[in-house]
Amino acid sequence: MKKLRVVVLMHGALVPPDDVSGVSVDDADWKTEYHVVNNLRLLGHDVLPLGIAGDLAPIRDAIRDFKPDVAFNLLEAFDDVVTWDQNVVAYLELMKLPYTGCNSRGLLLGRDKAITKKLLTYHRIRVPDFAIFPLGRAIKRPRRLGFPLIVKSLIFDASIGISQASLVDSDERLAERVRFIHESLGTDALAEQYVDGREMYVGVLGNHRLQVLPVWEMSFADLPEGRPKIATEHVKSRAAYRKKYAITTGPAKDLAPEVAQRIQEICKRVYRTLDLSGYARIDLRLDAAGQPYVLEANPNPALAADEDFADSAKLTGLEYGPLLQRIVNLGLDWARRTTET
């Protein structure tokens, strides 16, 4: 394996310390960044962690001084604006520096849940019926959109802004929750038909030839009766909450092989429809009749060694270090193919 110079792009506040003695890495905000940097070094690469805030100059300087072969992109925002990470990737493309993860066009399409749903609907990929409630506009539910509905931010990932109160069953509660999204997150709101069923995730790796990882599922074993089984912000971000209610993720159990294969084929179609590249996670719900509904696509999903994406890759025999190397190779391959064309 060729030794590479790798600049790892991350949020300025998430640059891991050089010495982690006495620190609980698993509890650190920079866990993912540490796992990636440390394991790339274990693979023998020369690695430069680079914190990015609201200025592209550090990237320009690193390209000039460090002369990286590839950028490993861990950014989820630029200048704390979550929809601007695509612009950083576009800058890397203009600078002709190969990078890992999704291309700028795929990020643009995948980050906007409304665009995603419209494209998937056009291509006859089943999604829940939905409506968008822009900031500053009157909140009026379309007649075609029946209850119950789940209300979320149009652009934020990681279930930010989603709680048990996000599931609404009346126009009054809908208006209340939409206003909450507008006022607390400052984004447009998305209301979509709630699919009562199983919460599933599928990882995809590749550019043109795709590898679909095993179907993963979130299990809500001890959730109190009457509470909807949804991946709220507490579920995603609070280990104590998951432990309290025995909320776990793992390979989907008791899933008929033909259903699993159908889900994986749908995820391939989603990936290609949205022009994704590198790696992504597709989120779905499976209703009682065994019908999959695509909720959203997540380009560049969480990549810590103990996250679902890495765990599902491990189930196929792809350990964490080789997974990172595969992602690097895909970035180099994408750059080569796009430059040639």
Are residues 235 and 325 both part of a single domain? yes
Work out the average pLDDT over 135-147.
93
pLDDT, residue 237, reads 64
Q: Above 90 in pLDDT, residue 7?
A: yes
Work out the average pLDDT over 172-191.
94
pLDDT, residue 10, reads 97
Q: Above 80 in pLDDT, residue 240?
A: no
Are residues 84 and 219 both part of a single domain? no
Tokens of 135: 């900031």
Q: Does a structural domain hold residue 270?
A: yes
Q: Which residue has the higher pLDDT, 307 or 222?
A: 307
Q: Which residue has the higher pLDDT, 239 or 313?
A: 313
Q: Would you mind telling me the total number of residues written for the chain in this entry?
A: 341
Q: Does a structural domain hold residue 119?
A: no
Q: Above 80 in pLDDT, residue 69?
A: yes
Q: Above 80 in pLDDT, residue 284?
A: yes
pLDDT, residue 244, reads 73
Q: How many other CB atoms are found less than 10 A from the CB of residue 167?
A: 20
Are residues 268 and 323 both part of a single domain? yes
What CA–CA distance (Å, rounded) separates 177 from 189? 9
Q: Which residue has the higher pLDDT, 148 or 155?
A: 148
Q: Does a structural domain hold residue 254?
A: yes
Are residues 225 and 318 both part of a single domain? yes
Phi-psi region of 246 (alpha: psi -120 to 50; beta: other; left: phi over 0): left
SS3 39: helix
Q: Which of 150, 166, 193 is the last residue of a domain?
A: 193
Q: Above 80 in pLDDT, residue 228?
A: no
β 247-251/197-206 pair status: unpaired
- Give the whole-number percent of the chain exceeding pLDDT 70: 97
CATH number at residue 88: 3.40.50.20
What CA–CA distance (Å, rounded) separates 308 from 67? 33
Closest CA to 284 of 117, 171, 170: 117
Lowest mean pLDDT among 160-164, 223-227, 263-267: 223-227
Work out the average pLDDT over 72-91.
94
Are residues 234 and 253 both part of a single domain? yes
Are residues 80 and 15 both part of a single domain? yes
Q: Does a structural domain hold residue 115?
A: no
Work out the average pLDDT over 219-225.
76
CATH number at residue 290: 3.30.470.20
Work out the average pLDDT over 283-288.
94
Q: Which of 171, 193, 215 is the last residue of a domain?
A: 193
Q: Does a structural domain hold residue 82?
A: yes
Are residues 211 and 315 both part of a single domain? yes
Are residues 200 and 188 both part of a single domain? no
The string of pLDDT tens digits covering residues 48-66 is 999 999 999 999 999 999 9
Are residues 203 and 298 both part of a single domain? yes
Are residues 187 and 203 both part of a single domain? no
Q: Total structural domains in the chain? A: 3
Tokens of 208: 């043109």
Q: Which of 154, 177, 193 is the last residue of a domain?
A: 193
Q: Does a structural domain hold residue 33?
A: yes
The string of pLDDT tens digits covering residues 18-53 is 889 888 998 899 999 999 999 999 999 999 999 999
pLDDT, residue 324, reads 98
CATH number at residue 155: 3.30.1490.20
pLDDT band at 151 (very low <50, low <70, confident <90, very high): very high
DSSP letter string over 188-200? -EEEEE---EEEE
Q: Above 80 in pLDDT, residue 93?
A: yes
In this structure, are residues 44 and 1 in contact, taking their beta carbons and an 8 Å threshold?
yes
Q: Does a structural domain hold residue 120?
A: no
Q: Does a structural domain hold residue 251?
A: yes
What CA–CA distance (Å, rounded) separates 320 from 302? 13
pLDDT band at 246 (very low <50, low <70, confident <90, very high): confident
In this structure, are residues 277 and 179 in contact, taking their beta carbons and an 8 Å threshold?
no
Q: Above 70 in pLDDT, residue 340?
A: no
pLDDT band at 131 (very low <50, low <70, confident <90, very high): very high
Are residues 186 and 204 both part of a single domain? no
What value does the mean pLDDT of the chain take? 92
- Give the whole-number percent of the chain exceeding pLDDT 90: 79
Largest CA distance in the chain: 60
Are residues 83 and 148 both part of a single domain? no
What is the helix (H) or strand (E) element at residue 217, kind and residue range?
strand 216-220
pLDDT, residue 341, reads 54
Q: Which domain holds residue 50?
A: 5-101
Work out the average pLDDT over 264-276.
98
